[in-house]
Amino acid sequence: MKKVMVLMLLLGALVNHSYAQQTRYLIKFKDKGSNPFSLNNPSQYLSTRALQRRTRYNIGIDSLDLPVTPRYVDSVRLAGAVTILNTSKWLNEVAIKTSDATALAKINNLPFVVSVVGIASFTAEIPTPVNKNLGTLDTNTAFENTNSFIGETTANVYNYGRSNGQVQIHQGAFLHNHGFRGETMQIAVLDGGFFHYQTLPTFDSVRANNQIINTWDFVANNASVDEDDAHGMNCFSTIAANNPGLFVGTAPKAAFALFRTEDVATETKIEEHNMAAGFERADSLGIDVCTVSLGYTTFDFASQNYTYANMDGKTALSTIAADIAAKKGMLPVIAAGNEGQSPWRYIAAPADADSVLTVGAVDTLGVAAAFSSYGPSADGRIKPNVAAVGRNAIVASPSTGAPVYSNGTSFATPNLAGLTTCLWQAFPEFNNMTIIDAIQKASNRVATPNDRTGYGIPDMKKAFVVLQKKSYTQQVAISNCTASFTLNTKYDATMNIIVEKKSATQTNYTTFKTILGTGNFSNKNITFTDDLMNTAGANNSYRIKIEIATDTSYYLDSLNVAIPNSCANPENKISINPNPVKNNANVVISRSQTSNINIVVTNAAGQQVYQTNYKQAAGTQIKTINMQAMASGIYYITIYADDKKVKTESIFKQ
């Protein structure tokens, strides 16, 4: 009863100060008791695609996946004049709208309610609108007067036009040229609105190909996001634009979910709750990558402000939600923030989350943007993780859709999110943390990360190589002085496999075998053999190299093969294949010294049908016998060395 009385007094104080009266609250629940949904039947609340992601990456279903208990939500709604806005199952809370003080008192006294929190403190605090720094269009910089434009390469599958610089700084065309443009992948964009994405020519291809798979406005609680702020549309354009020669995004073939979680007219904690709900919807749909160009530091009500110490990866609501999104298998790509020249200076939530890819801003020359927020996180982790083009970035104009310049980590983030999606498309067998690790290892400051660009600017070709090496396996078995190799790697028709070899007596590797690329990029087995005769007591070394076109080559791995001692004396090492034979029989003869060889073939009646003799140097030589014209039946092949019979073997001619 005391709790109720205190709450009523506080609510009464707010009513007496109408300018500060709160109408939106977050109701946090104690548990998910009496829940009609079951962990044993997740298809009730997770899509098939979401369940497939959990299976692929061995992610278990837990209580976070369960929806908020409907009975709890109903009790809140029935407490009085209460409107349910949305729920967050991960945070186990419901957002409501009400001015009914009695209802709030009832809600606060429910046994399963942990807290009732307004979006401001229960004081006569006058809200001070926060000037959001989401990124700004630059309509004064002429394309012709900037040195940040990188010329187009006509060999690319896309003519990127004005966006060429922000794609090529990451070697993004490498992914696109190899067929990784976002197909089969899904991206959720969480932002403040997607003004006129339904009509702007920038998104003609997206609309024509039905690539928008879901929309929701968590602020207004409806499915329409076309009429709100343009910031989300600007971000979306860096990924989805497909106007050849003018503006092409980084994953133009992906499918997209567009979620409005931000109310650009305010800055309140309900927006962090909305973000959590947006992540959850993305997870339930089976989304792969979430791109978020929003950040939270200070709010309209100063009593709810974060401090830099709160950027510790575990305090802010949006940070908690972003890390849970990663735990569920999605890859959140988060803007570092634009506070580099402000008193705040540092990254904003949820950029401090531990398991996300946080992106700072550079220009197309790789110079860090002055406005890009500084790291590290408050607990000392490297943030931002990496950087992409956010200064003089190319985005779509909200009035015409034409490419214009804009500034902000807001635009660096989706640009890199698109390329991250294409990289993951090539290697879906690896989980989100492995993809992030590869991107960081492929960045230009990986050895000397700093607080501006983290590990640096990612090179997607290098990241591709990191993952290809990680997926590569090899096996070798030795039998009868023959080494049999089985390699497994992902490659396609543009990639040749070169096997190089060096014996113990050689100083340099030479090409031993070339396997020409074939088909689409997928796992393929490569098998071959090597004769180890007359090389006993030493090792053979092999290197496996990938060659792509004429500009790229790299080694996947190397291995050594120990030569068995039993292969030291090849005196009587003779093999005949194939058996049975249809056309040609191969006689493989290995000798430790120069010998006079005589090969005789007789039929079942003892009649000689073939004979040859020659001098063979030490080593292995193959003699081919043309048996195509011989009648079907049993034949005998006898080999003489220096007039001494060393082997007779029967062979069946088909």
How far, in Å, CA of 224 to CA of 228, rounded?
A: 9
Residues 6 or more apart in contact with residue 613 via CB below 8 angstroms = 596, 597, 598, 599
What pLDDT sits at residue 537? 60
Structure tokens at 486: 């089985």
Reduced to 3 states (helix: H, G, I; strand: E, B; else coil), residue 497 is strand
**CATH number, residue 197:** 3.40.50.200
CB 136 within 8 A of CB 50: no
Single pTM value for the model: 0.82
125 in any annotated domain: no
Catalytic residue among 170, 176, 196, 231: 231
What pLDDT sits at residue 564? 81
CA dihedral (77, 300, 395, 431) positive or negative = negative
Catalytic residue among 65, 191, 229, 531: 191
DSSP calls for 170-191: TTHHHHHHTT-SSTT-EEEEEE
Task: Say whether both 562 and 574 belong to one domain.
Answer: no
CB 131 within 8 A of CB 65: no
Task: Say whether both 209 and 321 belong to one domain.
Answer: yes
Task: Say whether both 443 and 517 belong to one domain.
Answer: no
Residues 6 or more apart in contact with residue 507 via CB below 8 angstroms = none
C-alpha torsion angle, residues 642, 645, 647, 649 (rounded to 10) = 130
How far, in Å, CA of 432 to CA of 427, rounded?
A: 10
How many Cβ atoms are within 10 Å of 400's Cβ, its own excluded? 12
539 in any annotated domain: yes
From the list 355, 350, 390, 348, the residue with the least C-alpha distance to 369 is: 390
How far, in Å, CA of 182 to CA of 166, rounded?
A: 17
**CATH number, residue 597:** 2.60.40.1930
Q: C-alpha distances in angstroms, 41 versus 146, 480, 507? A: 57, 55, 63
Residues 6 or more apart in contact with residue 13 via CB below 8 angstroms = 122, 123, 124
Query: What 3 state SS string does 285-330 have?
Result: HCCCEEEECCCECCCCCHHHCCCHHHCCCCCCHHHHHHHHHHHCCC
How far, in Å, CA of 215 to CA of 223, rounded?
A: 5
Q: C-alpha distances in angstroms, 609 versus 2, 197, 631, 636? A: 112, 81, 11, 10
Task: Say whether both 216 and 317 belong to one domain.
Answer: yes
What pLDDT sits at residue 9? 34
Task: Say whether both 640 and 577 belong to one domain.
Answer: yes
Task: Say whether both 202 and 308 belong to one domain.
Answer: yes
How far, in Å, CA of 492 to CA of 521, rounded?
A: 4
* H or E element at residue 164: helix 164-168
How far, in Å, CA of 89 to CA of 71, rounded?
A: 14
Structure tokens at 612: 């040859």
Low-confidence ranges of the chain (pLDDT < 70): 1-22, 120-154, 534-537, 549-551, 566, 568-572
CB 315 within 8 A of CB 270: no
How far, in Å, CA of 464 to CA of 432, rounded?
A: 14
Task: Say whether both 215 and 319 belong to one domain.
Answer: yes
374 in any annotated domain: yes
What pLDDT sits at residue 532? 83
How far, in Å, CA of 241 to CA of 233, rounded?
A: 10
What pLDDT sits at residue 21? 54
DSSP 532: -
Residue 88 is among the residues annotated as catalytic for this protein: no
* H or E element at residue 52: helix 48-56
124 in any annotated domain: no
Task: Say whether both 522 and 394 belong to one domain.
Answer: no
**Considering 566, 601, 634, which residue would you say is the last residue of a domain?**
566
Peptide bond before 332: cis, by omega within 30 degrees of 0?
no
What pLDDT sits at residue 302? 85
Catalytic residue among 205, 397, 410, 590: 410
From the list 118, 119, 123, 121, the residue with the least C-alpha distance to 107 is: 118
- 311, burial (CB in 10 Å: exposed 0-12, middle 13-18, buried 19+): buried
Residue 191 is among the residues annotated as catalytic for this protein: yes
CB 188 within 8 A of CB 282: yes
Q: Residue 478: what are its φ and ψ, rounded to 5°?
A: -115, 125
How far, in Å, CA of 571 to CA of 443, rounded?
A: 56
Task: Say whether both 499 and 608 belong to one domain.
Answer: no
154 in any annotated domain: no
Task: Say whether both 553 and 597 belong to one domain.
Answer: no
**CATH number, residue 530:** 2.60.40.10
CA dihedral (424, 187, 410, 379) positive or negative = negative
**Considering 92, 118, 144, which residue would you say is the last residue of a domain?**
118
Residue 121 is among the residues annotated as catalytic for this protein: no
286 in any annotated domain: yes
Q: Please report where in the chains the tokens 């992906």 appear, as a residue.
A: 254
317 in any annotated domain: yes
**Count of domains forming the chain:** 4
What pLDDT sits at residue 505? 78
**Considering 444, 467, 490, which residue would you say is the last residue of a domain?**
467
DSSP calls for 79-103: TTT-EEEEEETTTTEEEEE---HHH
CB 274 within 8 A of CB 86: yes
Domain encompassing residue 581: 569-653
Q: Residue 434: what are its φ and ψ, rounded to 5°?
A: -70, -40
From the list 306, 458, 313, the residue with the least C-alpha distance to 381 is: 313
CB 95 within 8 A of CB 270: yes
Task: Say whether both 435 and 532 belong to one domain.
Answer: no
What pLDDT sits at residue 148? 38
Structure tokens at 591: 């000798």
Long-range contacts of 64-67 (CB under 8 A, 24+ apart): 64/89, 64/90, 64/324, 64/328, 65/39, 65/89, 65/328, 66/32, 66/35, 66/37, 66/39, 67/35, 67/37
Beta-bridged to residue 29, according to DSSP, are 113
Task: Say whether both 535 and 575 belong to one domain.
Answer: no
41 in any annotated domain: yes
